[in-house]
Structure 1
Amino acid sequence: MTKVFISCALPYANGPCHLGHIRSTYLPADIYARYNRMIGNDVLMVCATDEHGTPIAVKADKENKKPIEISKRYHDMIVRDVESMNISLDNFTRTTDEIHYEIAQNFFKDLYDKGLIYRLDIQQLYCENCQKFLPDRYVEGLCPACGSEARGDHCEKCGRALEPIELDEPKCLTCGNTPVIKDTYQYAFKLSEFEYELKVYIKNNDNLPANVKNYASNWLKEGLNDWVLTRDMDWGIPVPLDEAQGKVLYVWIEAFLGYISSAAQWSRKTNIKWEDYWNDYVVHFIGKDIIYHHSIFWPGLLTAYGCKKPDMIYAGEFLSLEGEKMSTSKNWVIWISDFVKDFEPDLLRYYLTINAPLNKDSDFSWDDFQRRNNDELADVIGNLLHRTFTFTHKFFDGNVPEYNNPSSEDLAFEAEITKLPDTVGEYISNYEFREALLEIFKVAKIGNKYFNDQEPWKAVKEDKQKAANTLYLSNQLAKTLAYVLKPFLPTKADEIAQILKLDDISVWADAKVPLPSGYGIAKAKPLFKKIEDDVITHQKDKLQENLEENEDDNMSDIIDIDYFDKVDIRIGQIKEAEKIEKSDKLLKLQVDIGDETRQIVAGLAKFYKPEELINRKVAVLVNLKPAKLFGTLSEGMLLATGKSGALLSPDDCEIGEEIQ
């Protein structure tokens, strides 16, 4: 028996869970954990909400609340979402718990006492208006590499890691002022000392998947610098040094330790040593955006501490939505809480697993979700099970019939059933979860074809033993499906087991133990229902409505009062106007502003017909940052009233004239 330590990447407590979170981290971890428990391994699966750092502090500032209030709000939402998807965590805690503070501070102090953490004099941005040094997330500006808007820690467009002082045109996120560079100090970890060991770890660890190895190896080629582990903030775990007042641990040292503190909390509740699990086999399930943190920074810290490094780091690739990158800021996202209001969680577990392997980006499509549910779950697996149970009751009084004198077709089908648990188990052991589920589906298709070819509804009148063999084997497959589907679709697997009157399907090896002849089963009930077209249409409409509402919000509140003196409003004339496909609110306009013609997207479709706007003079905000609205570039904003949508029409002004 192996002891297995499984962790899910810590969700950041500044929002609830969406489909991408479940797909990349929690669902694969749960499949792996459930299977390992079923084969007799001793599993400890832990997670926690990551509750420190600047984004939570910034959100608290905006809402005039304490950071702990923000993190508590979202912790509760995340717990609800994870539980609603039947993720079988053994412990789920918070990085604001007392035990986490204790472990994180002791960890830092240990490395400091070993001389592996040292004071580093640096330059840092300082806001003279707020009178404080600015951590990376408190600064926004332009990326020096590509010129795009970027945060103080990285540029989302080109992916470059940044330091705040590298930004062009930096601004304090709190007040908008331009910060100055000042001398200060932080505490740094001697990561560079462990470069050779980390290269060996990445190169020689055959457990690591290709995407993790490649990403980490490319990072290591550039050489490792020492890593700053502290920030100037009030919100966070205080640095445990008397001389370090006002400094807290950077989240990317203490968040890792959330795995350990969650396990330690579980140990205190159970009186079982978590260390035994860590020292046997450790696997982290993460998203690909934090590969280098987990494959370089975290193993470096563990090596310095004298602790075993992870055996496996599995990084799920990204999930897009209807062909577009998911965006919580644009509301282009499906929240777990919304999904489970309308659909059973097992349907999502199935789709997210079978849609694409974890080492490849994939897309969530409502149409494809419907297709897979209807064509695969309902028409193949559900149909096979329903016919098996129904005909067993109709022809054999609800009892598994005798199996005698099997034909070659019977023996071939029996062989498929017998090898299914081993094949699925091997795939799961190798983290090939999609392949495992595809194998289950393949055998279910074979079962359907076998059932159709044998025609037990006819054979029962002409050759009752043939019908008996057909339903005997079909019931055996049903039993096997209950077991092999358990890691993937735990609720549906239990429903199959209930019909088969199986009280316990927790032991994988029992999947191979056949139901005896004469064994009584319960009556059939629908296990998988088809999803109608109007249900999917409603979901797609909701998604577009959310996006449009967000675009309206973007257009109505883009300029802050602090920047009003920089507003450039000019007189323009609309030359062309047309509706934007699939939007009932937006029009695409070509507006002459004197020295050029701008394309502007405006929410006027409910108030004006396109032809009514041609040659109309309008007031145009021209120095607004270009943005895509409903996938269409907009290079300005028209001034209009809020409720009636009436445009401000300065007919007596000249085109291009500036409004003072």
Structure 2
Amino acid sequence: MSTRPSYYVTTPIYYVNDVPHIGHAYTTLACDVLARFKRLDGYDVMFLTGTDEHGQKVEKSAAGAGVDPQSFCDRVSARFQALATAMNFSNDQFIRTTEDRHKRAVQHLWQRIADAGYIYESAYSGWYSVSDEAFYSEKELTDRADGTKVAPSGSTVEWVEEPSFFFKLSAFQDRLLELYETQPDFVMPSSRLNEVKSFVRGGLEDLSVSRTTFTWGVPVPGADGHIMYVWIDALTNYLTATGYPDEGSKDYRTFWPADVHMVGKDILRFHAVYWPAFLMAAGLPLPRRVFAHGWWTNEGEKISKSKGNVIDPFALIDDFGLDPVRYFLLREVPFGNDGDFSRAAFVNRCNADLANDLGNLAQRTLSMIHKNCNGALPAPGDLTDADRELLDGVDGLLDIVRPHMDRQAFHKALGAIWDQVGAANTYISEQAPWTLKKTDAERMSTVLYVVAETIRQFAILAQPVTPDAAAALLDLLDIDAGARGFDALGAGGRLAAGRPIVKPSGVFPRLELETDGEKNA
């Protein structure tokens, strides 16, 4: 096993009944940033994403498309894999629940729970949403004017009666409440934890965990005609990727339990109630955290296919470039809250923070060095209090950023970095090296060196969020590939005077807002 600390982060696996949208990109981006950050911080990382390919909804969608379920899954899963490539995600695995290794893991987990006495056979009668792949009690439903019953998600439900196996979820109410009390960071943010606690305190009913009215799924061991409930199938993917049921495998011993399951708030119950209960029943360690983020609206309106306002991440990348998309999604809105996407806000944020604050700082500083210092990094002279203050602020950034990242407060982490970018811009304006070149060339060299050193550290810290642009900045400074980790931050990694630099080119181009008549997202 590696001597480095380990970190395991997962996205939910995405259901293959639709094409990828901004919500999928947002969740996976958050995980990608965590994974990149931890790798740079010296961790042995596993970052998992993938697709959830079983269930009644998939079977129906495949039939509607006139293809068999596996062909349907192959086609849609490929689109999610294309999104991972387009967004420059650094996932270590892309899992599919139709893989044989996953079917083995799910059946093993089922048998382990059954052997422990927590699964029994009976019959289910109640309300079920095919769209949500979820069961609902009468008290959770509302009635439309036409008498149709609707789940909290807005999806319609149907009355289902069939033989079923049940999981004794009711047996875990007290243990779950104890978990939430003793480990309050198990569910984040805290507002979501309160929702989960309220749901569990309201009483847990045993959960139907098999179906007999369709066939596209993992068969229940030893029970002909029964297909596992899609959520017990889907959730087990987090174990499958570590090599489970081989608990002696290197990946299992290194990475389980997971550090963060990142999910949208709509599937929090499955991850924060059902999943830990399944693991408790199986006698397996629990993940350390489930983080439920919010939803995006589009120009103030709820996103829906019927409104035609779904935000296509591929189109966003085509319009604005990848790194601005990555930056905006994690900088604009406090992570965990709902947020509104607008093209004006996007352009304004990226132009202010990326093009103006960091991009312009780098461009004018490195251009001055290239033109006035013989194309090489200058040697600094004696440092003033202003020099030391700026360098001390940048040297200490990791200690500020790391706790924010560990709590998935991406907006705060980026805010801390850009506060120092602002300080560097204030410093260069006050020191005015363009004036000093006429009056004090040695002082000009010191000022330019100090700012170049801040750019080096900004670029290293920005790598998890804007990997391409950060790499371009580090290339301009001729930073070796082995000197781009967080261990190179601070005084120990200072720029070497005399190192040649190429003539700089812009890293963050200014974005333009489309005028009336041009296409909208």
What does residue 619 of structure 1 align with? none
Residues 1:194 and 2:172 are matched in the alignment: yes
> Residue 387 of structure 1: CA displacement?
0.8
Of 173, 179, 185, 1:207 maps to 185
Residues 1:263 and 2:266 are matched in the alignment: no
Q: Does structure 2 conserve the Cα–Cα contact (< 8 Å) formed by 1:49 and 1:94?
A: yes
Of 435, 458, 464, 1:487 maps to 464
Q: Does structure 2 conserve the Cα–Cα contact (< 8 Å) formed by 1:4 and 1:280?
A: no
Whole-Å separation in 1 of the counterparts to 2:517 and 2:176: 50
- Structure-2 change in CA distance of 1:523 and 1:30 (3 Å): same
The residue identity in structure 1 corresponding to 2:218 is: I
Q: Does structure 2 conserve the Cα–Cα contact (< 8 Å) formed by 1:315 and 1:358?
A: no
Q: Does structure 2 conserve the Cα–Cα contact (< 8 Å) formed by 1:402 and 1:517?
A: yes
* Alpha-carbon displacement from aligned partner over 1:311-347 (angstroms, at most 9, x marks no partner): 1111111111111111134331121222222332111
* Alpha-carbon displacement from aligned partner over 1:143-193 (angstroms, at most 9, x marks no partner): 952426899883424x9xx9632xxxxxxxxxxxxxxx75x3100001111
- Structure-2 change in CA distance of 1:396 and 1:412 (3 Å): same
- Structure-2 change in CA distance of 1:273 and 1:21 (3 Å): same
Of 17, 25, 28, 1:26 maps to 28
What does residue 56 of structure 1 align with? 58
Residues 1:364 and 2:341 are matched in the alignment: yes
What does residue 238 of structure 1 align with? 219
* Alpha-carbon displacement from aligned partner over 1:565-606 (angstroms, at most 9, x marks no partner): xxxxxxxxxxxxxxxxxxxxxxxxxxxxxxxxxxxxxxxxxx
The residue identity in structure 1 corresponding to 2:158 is: P
Of 421, 425, 441, 2:398 maps to 421
Whole-Å separation in 1 of the counterparts to 2:342 and 2:297: 9
- Structure-2 change in CA distance of 1:439 and 1:21 (3 Å): same
Deviates more, 1:321-330 or 1:142-151: 142-151
Q: Does structure 2 conserve the Cα–Cα contact (< 8 Å) formed by 1:215 and 1:292?
A: no
- Structure-2 change in CA distance of 1:408 and 1:274 (3 Å): same
Whole-Å separation in 2 of the counterparts to 1:101 and 1:139: 21
What does residue 499 of structure 2 align with? 519
Residues 1:443 and 2:411 are matched in the alignment: no
Q: Does structure 1 conserve the Cα–Cα contact (< 8 Å) formed by 2:244 and 2:252?
A: no
Residues 1:252 and 2:231 are matched in the alignment: yes
- Structure-2 change in CA distance of 1:506 and 1:103 (3 Å): farther
Q: Does structure 2 conserve the Cα–Cα contact (< 8 Å) formed by 1:203 and 1:213?
A: no
Q: Which has the higher helix share?
A: 2
Whole-Å separation in 2 of the counterparts to 1:135 and 1:367: 38
Query: Any idea what SS the aligned residue of 2:261 has?
Result: strand
The residue identity in structure 1 corresponding to 2:64 is: K
> Residue 520 of structure 1: CA displacement?
2.1
Of 324, 329, 339, 1:352 maps to 329
The residue identity in structure 2 corresponding to 1:225 is: E
Whole-Å separation in 2 of the counterparts to 1:287 and 1:122: 28
> Residue 422 of structure 1: CA displacement?
2.2
Deviates more, 1:297-306 or 1:114-123: 114-123
Q: Does structure 2 conserve the Cα–Cα contact (< 8 Å) formed by 1:189 and 1:226?
A: yes
> Residue 358 of structure 1: CA displacement?
1.3
Unaligned regions of 5+ residues in structure 1, if any?
126-133, 166-180, 544-660
* Alpha-carbon displacement from aligned partner over 1:379-427 (angstroms, at most 9, x marks no partner): 1110000011100011101222122222222222122221122222232
* Alpha-carbon displacement from aligned partner over 1:615-647 (angstroms, at most 9, x marks no partner): xxxxxxxxxxxxxxxxxxxxxxxxxxxxxxxxx
Q: Does structure 2 conserve the Cα–Cα contact (< 8 Å) formed by 1:482 and 1:494?
A: yes
> Residue 136 of structure 1: CA displacement?
4.1
Question: How many residues were matched structurally?
Answer: 509
- Structure-2 change in CA distance of 1:327 and 1:434 (3 Å): same
Whole-Å separation in 2 of the counterparts to 1:293 and 1:515: 49
What does residue 144 of structure 2 align with? 147
Alignment of 1:33-432 (within 5 A): 33-123=35-125, 136-137=130-131, 145-147=142-144, 154-157=151-154, 164-165=158-159, 184-208=162-186, 209=188, 210-232=190-212, 233-241=214-222, 244-264=223-243, 273-279=250-256, 282-432=259-409
Unaligned regions of 5+ residues in structure 2, if any?
none
> Residue 22 of structure 1: CA displacement?
2.0
The residue identity in structure 2 corresponding to 1:520 is: P
The residue identity in structure 2 corresponding to 1:74 is: V
